[in-house]
Amino acid sequence: MKIKNEITIDADRQKVWREFDDPDNLAQWQPTLKSLTHKSGTPGQPGAVSELVYEEDGRDVITIETITEKRSPDFMAGNYDSKRSTAMVVNHFETAGSEQTRWVVYANHHFKGIFKYVGLFLRKSISGRTDAWMQRFKLLVESRAAE
């Protein structure tokens, strides 16, 4: 299942990238994130592997992130593997005008087991969660840019 979300942020691309690339900011815009543990590779660089634990409906969902490609400040791509699915996600940033950045997230989800069937009904939920996270990130960046 392929999903695309996008948002325009009122801040220049370098500022947006700095905030996006800072792992200390993740929990501020991904509120269900409980922990991030670096496992191998150089943190934040291609080949780096991290364990992310999210709380979803009262359960811990463990996702293994592998950064596959990164070009500052243009994009970062990674694979995200859990018991339910594997997703390839690309975050793309482009200048959208004076002091604005357009952030586009392309995600391709492949579900496992029973979720191969249930996954068809999850598009709206997954896209909605991604949009909510992007909105939270936009507020974070714009509030810091105003400081």
- Residue 114 domain-assigned? yes
Alpha helices in 6-52 (DSSP H): 13-20, 26-29
Given pLDDT bands bounded at 50, 70 and 90, which one contains residue 32? very high
On whether residue 49 sits in a domain, the answer given is: no
Domain that holds residue 85: 2-29+72-145
Cross-sheet strand order for the sheet of 2-9: 2-9, 100-111, 85-97, 75-81, 59-71, 49-56, 33-40
Evaluate whether residue 18 is within a structural domain. Answer: yes
pLDDT for residue 83 is more than 80 = yes
Q: What is the mean pLDDT of the chain?
A: 94
d(CA 103, CA 26): 16
What CATH number corresponds to the domain at position 91?
A: 3.30.530.20
Answering whether pTM is above 0.85, one says yes
More confident residue, 74 or 118: 74
62 in a structural domain: no
CB 93 within 8 A of CB 16: yes
Residue 130 counted as domain residue: yes
pLDDT band of residue 118 (cuts 50, 70, 90) is confident
Place of tokens 């996600």: 89
- Asked if residue 43 belongs to a domain, the reply is no
Residue 99 lies in a domain: yes
Structure tokens at 135: 């909105």
| Number of domains observed in the structure of the chain | 1
Residue 100 lies in a domain: yes
Q: What is the pLDDT averaged over residues 72-85?
A: 96
Pick the closest to residue 19 from 93, 69, 80 (CA basis). Answer: 93
Measured between its terminal Cα atoms, the distance across the chain in Å is: 39
Cα distances (Å, whole numbers) of residue 43 to 30, 65, 119: 19, 11, 31
Task: Please count the CA atoms within 13 angstroms of the CA of 103 that sit on its side-chain side.
Answer: 26
